[in-house]
Amino acid sequence: MMDDRKAAILRAVVECYIREAQPVSSAHVTELGNLGVSPATVRNDMAVLEQEGYLLQPHASAGRVPTDKGYRFFVDSLAGPAPLGPAQAELVRMFFARTHGELEHLLHETSELLSKLTDYAAVVVAPNAPEPGRVRSFQLVKLSRRVVLALAVLGNGAVERRSLELPADIEEAQVQQASAALAASLVGSHLERAGSMPRTGDVAVDNLMSMTLQALRKPDPDAAEHVFVGGAARMAAAFDAVSTIRQVLGILEQQFVLVSLLKDVLDRGLSVAIGTEHGLAPLADCSVVVAPYDVDGERAGTVGILGPTRMHYDQAMTAVAVVSKQLTKALSEGGGSGRRTRQKATAEAPVPASPGPAPAGAGRGAARGPRFEGNGHG
Amino acid sequence: MMDDRKAAILRAVVECYIREAQPVSSAHVTELGNLGVSPATVRNDMAVLEQEGYLLQPHASAGRVPTDKGYRFFVDSLAGPAPLGPAQAELVRMFFARTHGELEHLLHETSELLSKLTDYAAVVVAPNAPEPGRVRSFQLVKLSRRVVLALAVLGNGAVERRSLELPADIEEAQVQQASAALAASLVGSHLERAGSMPRTGDVAVDNLMSMTLQALRKPDPDAAEHVFVGGAARMAAAFDAVSTIRQVLGILEQQFVLVSLLKDVLDRGLSVAIGTEHGLAPLADCSVVVAPYDVDGERAGTVGILGPTRMHYDQAMTAVAVVSKQLTKALSEGGGSGRRTRQKATAEAPVPASPGPAPAGAGRGAARGPRFEGNGHG
DNA sequence: CTCTGGCACTCAAGGTTACCGAGCGCCAGG
DNA sequence: CCTGGCGCTCGGTAACCTTGAGTGCCAGAG
């Protein structure tokens, strides 16, 4: 059904189309595919590939163009991890060497890095759960008669804050009492494991404490899912229809949709979703490459890129994998969102450079699991 | 040089071109401009207007199109504040009625509001200076042997955080000592007025304290200039050349450039910059409408929109003015970035609604000063 | 002096035709 | 099973014409 030659032809068509964005003819394939057969033979095979749904002809006398299914086969049959080019490897190295500062800032810049690496739009989803780690410090601050601010500094330096609106006025002394009691109970333990507080006898204080615990346990409603999008302009270059650009931009602006999209793709065990494989109609001409990153061993967020279906999958996948890997490293080693001390990452786990057999398995490993389990080319 | 009729003709051409995006003919002007003259007369005047640089012809047998200078004249001669449409007024009302939550969140949503109101891309620049107000609470938290986190809660509920990297290891007790001393000194006073600390005799503690003060006094290096862009997709709809969209998107992604642009326009006393009036070549086809907003009486940040030179200036200016006004209100009244209590704004200062003579001066006042001082139509 | 109607001119846009050639499908022969 | 050849199809391009919108200019009227 899919002998070696047909596979080779399909691959050649996809590669060529990705490069040139134009229908690929049988002659073109024979030139580039260095399989020793004539165009006529290729034509026959291409006809079959079209019947099987891997290719299609825009019109009768044109070359062939890959379908989503064709891209899927191509991606699934990608084996060699395209190593990063030297210039790109350098970019990554530089970036993670000088990594520091606030989490948000880092993630924002990461989205730009990823976009620069791939020339597509990059998406970085921030960790949604309150970052783990023991509570280092806790405090309530009274802001106005009925508004109290709760501040917790976590082990990694992240600051969780919640503002509480009380049902009734409260005294400064009461706030302080609750603050002290909560601090005594919380500091040194984990936020999510915080149990209920003993009664103090003062109903206002008890109420404040239980509200605080409740608020701390669920994620910050304001923070929502923080998403960083980088390089939308680059994405625009990959399409030529203005309407397509509009639609894609529209999606990129809907943070919730974006997050769902990436999450959905990951949940299905994929690292690449091609064309209509993800459900979003406006992105029918787009593919998505994703990888999760971890913080302290727990899956925390997602990085991904969004480009045209005719994207450079190998490079994109490598870039995403490398960045997610490095991000995991950067976030786990030096500490979380507080100031991270300077990384030794460059020395320890070299970014795969271009030449040679390349220790690229390192960068790839994380993504390899999910990568080949597509609802493939059946 | 610019008699009433010519002015009327010019206005008619601009209005018409803004609506229809097509060269305007003399006949069209006579229809819409209800000045009682024939097309031939209009033609003559239009020829003069072209010589004077207000109009130009795309090609010989086409209608006229406004130049930047033409738009400038039009904008400067705009007098009546176009009131918001009822639907838009409702949007604004709703938005600021439910305003609450973190500053960043609010500003982000404001950019979407503004974009929705105008159908162009909206830009909101966050306040860069640490927010004013007395310090309510201060604390140092030791994160690791050499990293200490400084946390200050300001009067309006905003939290300033700085992480400090020390030159040498420090003890928990020393951090606590410095924390207590600083808290005693800072709480109740203003951050920027904080003087130097008395010596304690422990050089590490003294050093930590002075580093802290120093860090607190300058703005957060990580926060940089925070910019929120909303509705880039809407902007894309206003242009038809893909290359233009790319360029504009590119600018929208360069936060620094964006901030400079808005600041520059404001500094020049303008609230509208048309086409090439701002220096950015890629934005030659764009106009910018800006207005500052205040926090506690001090100019804090900027809101603005970016659209095609043929934008609906009156509506855009109104929207920007109203939003900046309301933002000022929201940020000053209920407190800053902490939870703001529910606004009474709607009752107190009604958003100018559509019908009637409209108390629109309210929404306009803020912007009127700067508005008419362009390097005009000389 | 100003405005108007008329007329000739210009030029982009749209439609028609014809041509070219890339690329396929098919088939007969090796 | 592969190959070379032949005929067919159709998109793309160019040349051409027509159309009509819109101008510029001018002579005449108010």
pLDDT at position A332 is 76
Residue A361, pLDDT score: 34
B70-115 pLDDT, tens digit per residue, is: 999 999 999 777 789 899 999 999 998 876 667 788 899 999 999 9
pLDDT value of residue A250:
95
- Test B335 with A143 for CB contact under 8 angstroms: yes
CB contact under 8 A, B223 and A102: yes
Class of domain B135-217: alpha beta
**What would the pLDDT profile of B22-46 be if each residue is shown by its tens digit?**
999 999 999 887 888 999 999 999 9
Q: What is the CATH number of domain A86-128+223-371?
A: 3.30.450.40
The pLDDT of residue B361 is 34
* Residue of B103, B115, B145, B161 to mutate, interface with A, max A Cβ within 10 Å: B161
Q: Residue A22 has what pLDDT? A: 94
Please check the confidence at residue B373 and state whether its pLDDT lies above 70.
no
Question: How many angstroms away from the CA of A348 is the closest CA of chain B?
Answer: 22
Q: How far is A142 from chain B (nearest CA, A)?
A: 8
pLDDT surpassing 60 at residue B360: no
d(CA B189, CA A160): 25
What residues in A contact B249, CB-CB < 8 Å? 232-233, 236, 249
pLDDT for position B35 = 85
pLDDT of chain A along its 378 residues, tens only?
Answer: 788 999 999 999 999 999 999 999 999 999 887 888 999 999 999 999 999 999 999 998 899 999 999 999 999 999 777 788 899 999 999 998 876 667 778 899 999 999 999 999 999 998 866 556 678 889 999 888 888 888 888 776 777 878 888 889 999 999 999 999 999 888 888 776 666 777 888 899 999 999 998 888 776 655 556 899 999 999 999 998 888 999 999 999 999 999 999 999 999 999 999 999 999 999 999 999 999 999 878 888 999 999 999 999 999 999 999 999 999 988 876 544 344 433 333 333 344 444 333 333 333 333 333 333 333 332
The ranges of chain B annotated as CATH 1.10.10.10 are 4-66
CB contact under 8 A, A237 and B246: yes
Span A4-66: which CATH code? 1.10.10.10
More confidently predicted of B362 and B276: B276
Indicate the residue of A144, A156, A240 with minimum beta-carbon distance to B341: A144
- Contact (CB<8Å) A102/B236: no
At residue B376, does pLDDT exceed 90? Answer: no
Q: What is the pLDDT of residue A221?
A: 57
pLDDT (0 to 100) of residue B348 = 37
- CA B289 to CA A169: how far, in whole Å? 43
pLDDT at A122: 98
